[in-house]
Structure 1
């Protein structure tokens, strides 16, 4: 199980001398003092070295790069800060500068990022769109290969525990958004809190492109997960983290394995993109080069998942369909979505989603039968795939405004419902 990961690390080490040579050549052919740099051959050599550097370097965790937002058209500084830390996740709060915006009482929103290979920074566009009118928190998951084995494991039950703990930490009237894979643990966490009558139950939950019931319009990803026994996944994709990583000997689903699977699904498109990069570098098309770099800096930055979390998710969500079947358990207790009564539910799907087919997320409404009918919301965005559900132009202009409206409506209903109780108490006190 260790050999593939070792081969991956050794390949990176072996290619390092070539990278150094390539970097020296690139500098030589881009030097303003080199006459060859202005020739077609010189530009082609510099571009080839640049492409080689892109496809061979190790991509680290990207920066959030969010240091400002606009409130009523005025620029407001934003500072991401870790407000609560766990072994496998940090709770990030995007703190807005009150000296510029004034004291605001915007709805608190917890965005639960996917733990599926990419870093939470994949939701940069999601966060940016929510910041002007919401107090935003995000789960920033930690790469499993940097967590020492001595600290124990992390599975789906732990994921659910983290969500519950974060909601309790943020406080009452929080709105939670589960993006893609976390839709299942978010729904399970809210059900567990409802069963315990937890006063910190979220005011609303929004599930976006999540695999609540993968039997509905199954995709290629769903069919692969269902067609193989769990032992096949354990033998084929689970490996041990090699030395000198801090998590040495930890069993993980490596990010580079998952990334290779994603890239082979659209290999021709990725090859064309790098061919275009080569051409744009020669032409000096800086805008196109920058756009390419931004996308692939995020796309090629991957993290490892713990083996127990990955395998439990495959079995529970994609093979046993435990949640829609009513057989999902959390810490020995059944996950009963019928217990949810106080949390509004919104589901969002993309018409062209090839990861979570249409209807898979909407299935949550059939499970949460005791949520009042006017607290159910469902929206399908035409013309977008999986990524477009939470990022891009359609997210900013069409999806996010609907999520915002649902959150505001839910808060308004809660305030209206709370007023009669206060009036009655005053009358009783007077008597």
Structure 2
């Protein structure tokens, strides 16, 4: 019933958005003698804000065409190198990169938004690295015949992607995937897998949510696991390829995130209206671009979502040494030669300070010279991986960390070839 009710509401809002957009165009049309004047302009801009807020949104494109490095422009090449039911592997490169450029697997969150939320992360790291990114599928478009997808599958996908990239690669996990990325690193390290990552960077990830709990963490622990199963999991309706699949809908996740900072979002839209009234088109376009991405959401497989709530947020299985993969214990003690960089934002209201840093505590057999922690001052969750502070203050730290171990990466690749 939840999904059906949403579909009805979505159809009504789509129609309302179209009507509001048409009305705004009419009020702004050159044939209207009152266009741009007083109440007419106020009404047109108000309708424009509403039309944008209510407009339907599909999967965004990365849209990276040109990248500027050291003052030179280079054409960006985007390729899908692996296609799998629940997620593809995309590769970004450009002709300005040397043949031996570092290779980086960027693990995007499977948390209700598309991988394009990390567009700015890709663009900045692409300056010096060949960037691969996990492009997770919208679960409502995955037919039931493809089976389920849970944390075990997530870890297997990461392992398979690293195998495709080959020995000597680096890995970066943003937010939620820090847990499966660290687990995959431990499993591959225990197996002495030649494709285990040389470095692992985790940014704003919930490694141990007992550290500085946030509102997100509190929500997960104040309700029993069965509550989530019965209240936020629903079935994909018949008008999608994934008909019958049990999912955690993206629209529920979006509503949760919006409600956490409702006042800020309302103020952002009021400022959007003010920018339109003032003719500040660049500022208005920036706000619209942000919300185009922020409101583009996708569904999560129910198995993955419920398992994440249980193991990560309620039982803290990984830092307590109780996490299993395919029935076998995930041993963080096995990580001995993958350098770990943990990055947190001082104002992160999703993953509190200390939650990512915990990874440095639970890897006792990794030398101190292979561990680093960076706290980004005055940076919120989104700012860790997007925006000016990411580009100018945080990304250089990642660049230096990768460069520090790149010689080791090349050695591991040569050893594997031999």
Q: Shorter-chain TM-score category? A: over 0.9
Residue 95 of structure 1 deviates from its aligned partner by: 2.5
Partner of 2:56, secondary structure, is coil
User: Root-mean-square deviation (CA), in Å?
Assistant: 1.8
CA distance in 1, matches of 2:370, 2:228: 39
Residue 133 of structure 1 deviates from its aligned partner by: 0.7
Q: 1:210-257: per-residue Cα shift (whole Å, max 9, x none)?
A: 111111111111111112111001111111111211111111111111
Identify the range of structure 1 (282-291 vs 193-202) with the bigger mean alpha-carbon deviation: 282-291
- In the other structure, the counterpart of 1:298 is 293
CA distance in 1, matches of 2:306, 2:413: 44
Within a 5 Å distance, the mapping from 1:269-288 to structure 2 comes to 269-288=264-283
CA distance in 2, matches of 1:417, 1:131: 22
Residue 342 of structure 1 deviates from its aligned partner by: 2.0
- In the other structure, the counterpart of 1:329 is 324
Residue 162 of structure 1 deviates from its aligned partner by: 0.4
Partner of 2:308, secondary structure, is helix
Residue 196 and residue 404 in structure 1: after superposition, are their counterparts in 2 closer, same or farther (change >3 A)? same
- In the other structure, the counterpart of 1:259 is 254
Residue 354 and residue 166 in structure 1: after superposition, are their counterparts in 2 closer, same or farther (change >3 A)? same
1:225 aligns with 2:220: yes
Partner of 1:379, secondary structure, is strand
CA distance in 2, matches of 1:184, 1:269: 29
Partner of 2:155, secondary structure, is helix
Q: 1:130-187: per-residue Cα shift (whole Å, max 9, x none)?
A: 1111111010111111111121111111100000000000001000001110000000
1:346 aligns with 2:344: no
Residue 171 and residue 36 in structure 1: after superposition, are their counterparts in 2 closer, same or farther (change >3 A)? same
Partner of 1:323, secondary structure, is coil
CA distance in 2, matches of 1:266, 1:333: 40
Higher Rg: 1
CA distance in 2, matches of 1:239, 1:83: 32
CA distance in 1, matches of 2:223, 2:339: 36
1:154 aligns with 2:149: yes
CA distance in 2, matches of 1:25, 1:223: 44
- In the other structure, the counterpart of 2:73 is 75
Partner of 1:263, secondary structure, is helix
- In the other structure, the counterpart of 1:49 is 47
8 Å CA contact 1:175, 1:204 repeated in 2: yes
Within a 5 Å distance, the mapping from 1:275-424 to structure 2 comes to 275-413=270-408
Residue 52 of structure 1 deviates from its aligned partner by: 2.0
Residue 103 of structure 1 deviates from its aligned partner by: 4.3
TM-score, normalised via structure 1 length:
0.93
TM-score, normalised via structure 2 length:
0.96
CA distance in 1, matches of 2:413, 2:86: 38
Partner of 2:380, secondary structure, is coil
- More helix per residue: 1 or 2? 1
8 Å CA contact 1:201, 1:342 repeated in 2: no
Residue 293 and residue 259 in structure 1: after superposition, are their counterparts in 2 closer, same or farther (change >3 A)? same
CA distance in 2, matches of 1:404, 1:130: 8
8 Å CA contact 2:168, 2:410 repeated in 1: no
CA distance in 2, matches of 1:248, 1:70: 44
Q: 1:318-344: per-residue Cα shift (whole Å, max 9, x none)?
A: 111111110100011100011111211
1:59 aligns with 2:57: yes
CA distance in 2, matches of 1:102, 1:297: 31
Within a 5 Å distance, the mapping from 1:81-92 to structure 2 comes to 81-92=79-90
- In the other structure, the counterpart of 1:175 is 170
Partner of 2:47, secondary structure, is helix
8 Å CA contact 2:17, 2:52 repeated in 1: no
Within a 5 Å distance, the mapping from 1:185-224 to structure 2 comes to 185-224=180-219
8 Å CA contact 2:168, 2:413 repeated in 1: no
Residue 16 and residue 337 in structure 1: after superposition, are their counterparts in 2 closer, same or farther (change >3 A)? closer
